[in-house]
Structure 1
Amino acid sequence: MPVLSPRQPSAKTWFKKSLLVGLTTVLVAGCSSSPTGRSQLKLFPTAEVSQMGVQSFAQMKSETPATADQNKIRYVNCVANQVTAQVPAKYGISEWEIVVFESEQVNAFALPGGKVGVYTGLLNVANNQHQLAAVIGHELAHVLAEHGNERISTAFATQTGLSLAYKISGEPSPEKDQLFGLLGVGAQYGIVLPFGRTQESEADMMGLDLMAKAGFDPKESVTLWQNMAKASGGSQPEFMSTHPSNERRINDLNGRMSAVLPYYQQAQASGRKPQCML
């Protein structure tokens, strides 16, 4: 059996270091900045993520019926088209597909690839064009900031890191399985969920800018979330949710209002005065 000198690392030690160096290199290479300057991890090509969004939207259209109510379709498109018109050309999305789904869900979403879905149930809570614009602006912001890429990159890096650590940490045992189960829970609540809250807050701020530049009253975004709070009743603690609490969300929106109101005033002065009615 060969004897290793003190300076010669074992094969196992070399393997561990190689894995860690390789993972670190991938993570560093994937680091970039969001539109607000926040550091974020994006490991996948934008075109690939956009294609995933297009495919997911096609599947949703096949599973959830679109509304036949032409009044609601015209109304949602009226609002959405004016908000999407404020998306800067640098994002490379020239057309947005907007579908109104017949569902009681109080929700809307946007997907990479220029796809927007609005559920009819949202129209019972977003009581006017300004509130609907706040939701749509928020969802568009998720796409513009590439939050989808960031989420799957974070999940991929977290899962990969735990898998590598498990493989190099010795022989399997009940104690080891329990430890890594706890680490998985820690990764979920310590990394993935807070990251989601950060993205939601960022989308709120970016969406506020979009709706104001389109000529919608940004102050109505606060009323929207007050309506959401009433509609949702009790909600789970913020630390276990991917969304900020309604109270925190409202406070953050109010905190940015003085900065965004000039966008709204400039839009009004330029003749951008939406008249979308249901």
Structure 2
Amino acid sequence: MPAVADIEVREAVPADLPEIAAVALATGQDEEWGGADPAYMTHLLAHGRVVVGVAGGSVAGFGATRPLGSGPDAVSMLCDLFVHPEVHGSGCGRAMLAALWPGTRGHRMTFSSLHAHALPLYTSFGLDAWWPLLYLRGRVDALAAPAGWQAAAASPASVAAAELSWTGVDRSADHQAWARRPGGAGVLAVRDGEVMAAGTVGGAGDEFGVTHLAVTPAADDVRAAAAVLAVLAGLAPEDGVARVCLPAPHPAVRPLLAAGWRAGEFDLFMATEPGLLDPCRAVPSPALA
């Protein structure tokens, strides 16, 4: 493992979770499905790769990747890369990323924050910024399922099977983990009896909404938008408000904005190639895509 400016990078272990949580909280990452959440980090330890940067015997930063797919077409998703504010500029972030992404080959992507250091760091590892990912929130009672569409409950296994048939990527473990979140449940978007999209909803507090939704490749722009609207209209959050993260070019963005939904923040989709996610079909999890 590389060492930069007295930073040691090593593989994370479960005993590191309290210190990882402390770094996450120090950087403002206090959401339920993030570095301070043991369920999220345990999932990454089991199904991805997590490293920590250690300075002076203490964890000063952490980073994590999750492989999406297998073989030569697999994509390495950078889920997290955070450094304690007290050691910003120490080289910790670069050292951890070099451990997670050695060499120059492979399909890589992440959703980058707007932190001043993020863009230059990721571009130095071969990624470019392609489009913003909008964090949209609004009232579900302002929406209606399009004619002929409905949302139907489904098991995580059924959802994962549908996504596997469309994409060739097995997301079973992720759908199981997403369904264990507060309010978590599998959902299908059905048009005239045909399943057009499959995903998982859930999340704590103002994170409640669509976690991840896969859409059949047979769907055109109109149906891709209708699938999102049908799932959102079928939600029943306690305060009536839900969230969905959409690429800015997604065809569901315009009708959601017209219905009063708003984007309070956004990240940048960065990748080695723009086609790793289809901005007119993808409804990704910012943490696990």
- TM-score scaled to structure 2, two decimals? 0.25
Which of 1 and 2 has greater Rg?
A: 1
If each structure's strand is expressed as a fraction of its own residues, which one has the higher value? 2
The structure that is helix-richer by fraction is 1
Could you state the TM-score of these two structures normalised by the residue count of structure 1?
0.26
